Chains A and B, each alone.
Chain A
């Protein structure tokens, strides 16, 4: 394995991609659509309460990143899902395999070109990110973390598409399957999480609340407290199913972004006290519940929270339970394992001389 070999393949792939497609149009359209959506986000946030305004940019940034990720997840398979079988169809793979390039170099070169292309798309959003920063409230750490996690997630999709293109002989099949994987990771995880949470819900029997004896009790008679009062109810155990949701790229991205405290969690609200609404300007930045990244992150962490044994229902005040642990390390690991696994598959599929040939696959 040499770096020069990888670079040669990547350069060749990149040059062919750039000269063949209508890149100026594609990249231009990508930028303009995102520009329009950022402007729309800004207009919406401008209409939120006064309290949000100093941190408007953070809300815009969160929304923009979710949009960028959705669009990039649509672009990545289209650019990558024909890398290997497309070359085979065009008769350019075998001539590459008989050179001294190793399967690893060919794979890394192809992956590098695909991933690099996605990073170009990502880099194009930089002016829009700056616009968000100019609107205030975006912290640098968040931008760094979100960019890195986004790059890794797109790398995963590129790796999956590349792997599928090496396993399947038809380009349409690998294209469709790549999109199905993206669908499974995004919408599929949501659906499976929802359904499995319902399917695994438990039936529990809870004791009745202990009532004080009625004041109008007839003298001489003890208060009537039922001996074994209880009722049955169901409860979902998302502490067991959250893992499904963790693989979702949107969840990983949102949860990885540094969390801010929610405004109402900061000071416990007295029952009769003034509710801190979006119209009250906070002293320092807290999340009013508008930041989409923070919202998603908090939701999944809550779902992950360990199960607390049921307590008898009382009317007394219970302190809000602690937040669940971060979900993104698990989710990112799942994605990384998937991506690296598919890269390994690609190398295996490129290794010659072939002993076994999949049905319908030509060598050259």
Chain B
């Protein structure tokens, strides 16, 4: 898909002796949400800074909406919205003035900026706070305002570093819906996050990175099979009967307090077998899922391989 979304090939960047990004490949297609997942220090933020036209890569080829961020940063900027993991707002400006200023910074006319600011304030549920100075906003409200800033010029590519940090559960759900609708409208959305459970419901596509390299690229509905035992959490109406049944089944288990019982299992196949046995044994199982979700399981698996 030339001309749309993000494509990065063999990107490398070092800071002196530190190789922050050794070789990363990434595709983020238009109309999809792509998740960038990796442990701290994997090079996610560095890669996003390179995509955001702020940092020049030492090597590699990048196209964002068809343009090279190194040679044509202005063309990229006109089509890309970016929000960093930590950012500040201008103390003293109101939420409305803040968005209108960025409208001007994206070369919109005063009228366009005003209209757009109104739309975005409504989208972020910040209308009541539109004329309050930004420093009185709560952390979640600031986070939402920052996201709106990235949307001011209606970009076709959105690059977000940890957009969910500091958001309460309700705002996370809203963020997820917003990003999904944004992708549905044809934009390419790239999100880095540690909130893997959120990403699981949000992303179509996931790129795993570790130690400066891409270690896996999967569709969310086709994650690779596990090759190592991972904890799965089981809950039943009667916890004692569950434990007794697990003992009979010879499963390696450990109680996790009132949350349930954790059982080490390798892959979906093994999990399905155990569940069938438990049900046959008369245990009334309420839930059974990998701890932290499928994405976390894959993430741990992949990052362990490279250690």
Contact between A353 and B87, CB atoms less than 8 A apart? no
Contact between B54 and A97, CB atoms less than 8 A apart? yes
Judge whether B86 is part of the interface by a CB distance below 8 angstroms.
yes
| Among B56, B87, B97, contact of A91 (Cβ-Cβ < 8 Å) | B87
Judge whether A354 is part of the interface by a CB distance below 8 angstroms.
yes
**CB under 8 Å from chain A, chain B span 61-101:** 69-70, 73-74, 77-78, 80, 82-84, 86-93, 97, 101
Given A92-B88, A94-B87, does the pair A5, B97 have CB atoms closer than 8 Å?
no
**CB under 8 Å from chain A, chain B span 160-192:** none
**CB under 8 Å from chain B, chain A span 336-353:** 352-353
| Among B54, B90, B91, contact of A353 (Cβ-Cβ < 8 Å) | B54
Q: A4–B112 Cα gap in the complex (Å)?
A: 14
Judge whether B137 is part of the interface by a CB distance below 8 angstroms.
no
Contact between A92 and B73, CB atoms less than 8 A apart? no
Judge whether B149 is part of the interface by a CB distance below 8 angstroms.
yes
Question: Which stretch (B1-9, B102-110, B218-226) binds chain A?
Answer: B102-110
Contact between A16 and B78, CB atoms less than 8 A apart? no
Q: Which residues of A contact B158 (CB under 8 A)?
A: none
| Among B83, B86, B91, B105, contact of A5 (Cβ-Cβ < 8 Å) | B105
Contact between B84 and A91, CB atoms less than 8 A apart? yes
Q: Which residues of B contact A9 (CB under 8 A)?
A: 105
Q: Which residues of B contact A24 (CB under 8 A)?
A: none
Judge whether B274 is part of the interface by a CB distance below 8 angstroms.
no
Contact between B104 and A5, CB atoms less than 8 A apart? yes
Interface size grouping (class) on chain A: 20 to 34
Q: A164–B236 Cα gap in the complex (Å)?
A: 66
B106 CB to nearest chain A CB (Å): 5
**CB under 8 Å from chain B, chain A span 67-116:** 87, 90-92, 94-102
- 10 further interface pairs, Cβ-Cβ under 8 Å (given A5-B105, A92-B88, A352-B73): A12-B90, A17-B92, A19-B92, A91-B86, A91-B88, A99-B77, A99-B106, A352-B54, A353-B70, A363-B49
Q: Which residues of A contact B69 (CB under 8 A)?
A: 353
Given A16-B91, A90-B88, A94-B87, does the pair A354, B55 have CB atoms closer than 8 Å?
yes
Given A353-B69, A354-B56, A364-B54, does the pair A96, B105 have CB atoms closer than 8 Å?
yes
Given A12-B101, A352-B73, A364-B84, does the pair A100, B106 have CB atoms closer than 8 Å?
yes
> What total of A-B pairs shows CB separation below 8 Å?
98
Given A100-B74, A352-B73, does the pair A15, B52 have CB atoms closer than 8 Å?
no
Given A99-B77, A353-B69, A363-B49, does the pair A16, B107 have CB atoms closer than 8 Å?
no
Given A91-B86, A92-B89, does the pair A98, B56 have CB atoms closer than 8 Å?
no
| Among B16, B53, B90, contact of A92 (Cβ-Cβ < 8 Å) | B90
Residue of B nearest to A8 (CB): B104
Given A2-B107, A20-B91, A352-B73, does the pair A99, B55 have CB atoms closer than 8 Å?
no
Judge whether B267 is part of the interface by a CB distance below 8 angstroms.
no
Q: Which residues of A contact B15 (CB under 8 A)?
A: 357
Judge whether A355 is part of the interface by a CB distance below 8 angstroms.
yes
Contact between B89 and A99, CB atoms less than 8 A apart? no
Q: A24–B209 Cα gap in the complex (Å)?
A: 53
Judge whether B50 is part of the interface by a CB distance below 8 angstroms.
yes
B40 CB to nearest chain A CB (Å): 16
Q: A16–B94 Cα gap in the complex (Å)?
A: 10
Q: Which residues of A contact B55 (CB under 8 A)?
A: 352-354, 357, 363
Given A15-B92, A16-B93, A364-B49, does the pair A98, B86 have CB atoms closer than 8 Å?
no
Contact between B105 and A100, CB atoms less than 8 A apart? yes
Residue of B nearest to A353 (CB): B56
Contact between B93 and A364, CB atoms less than 8 A apart? no
User: Hey, what's the 0/1 contact readout for B272-290 against A, CB within 8 Å counting as 1?
Assistant: 0000000000000000000
A1 CB to nearest chain B CB (Å): 12
Residue of A nearest to B56 (CB): A353
Q: A260–B70 Cα gap in the complex (Å)?
A: 59
| Among A20, A352, A364, contact of B92 (Cβ-Cβ < 8 Å) | A20
Contact between B92 and A98, CB atoms less than 8 A apart? no
Q: Which residues of A contact B54 (CB under 8 A)?
A: 94, 97-98, 352-354, 363-364
User: Which interface residue of B52, B77, B78, B104 has the most chain A CB atoms within 10 A?
Assistant: B104
Residue of A nearest to B146 (CB): A95
| Among A16, A17, A98, contact of B53 (Cβ-Cβ < 8 Å) | A98
Q: Which residues of B contact A359 (CB under 8 A)?
A: 16
Q: A121–B111 Cα gap in the complex (Å)?
A: 33
Closest 7 CB pairs of A and B: A19-B92, A91-B88, A99-B105, A8-B104, A90-B88, A353-B56, A364-B84
A89 CB to nearest chain B CB (Å): 8
Contact between B105 and A364, CB atoms less than 8 A apart? no
Q: A363–B54 Cα gap in the complex (Å)?
A: 7
Q: Which residues of B contact A16 (CB under 8 A)?
A: 90-93
User: Which interface residue of A4, A9, A90, A98 has the most chain B CB atoms within 10 A?
Assistant: A98
**CB under 8 Å from chain B, chain A span 1-46:** 2, 4-5, 8-9, 11-12, 15-20
Q: Which residues of B contact A364 (CB under 8 A)?
A: 49, 52, 54, 84, 86-87
Q: Which residues of B contact A101 (CB under 8 A)?
A: 105
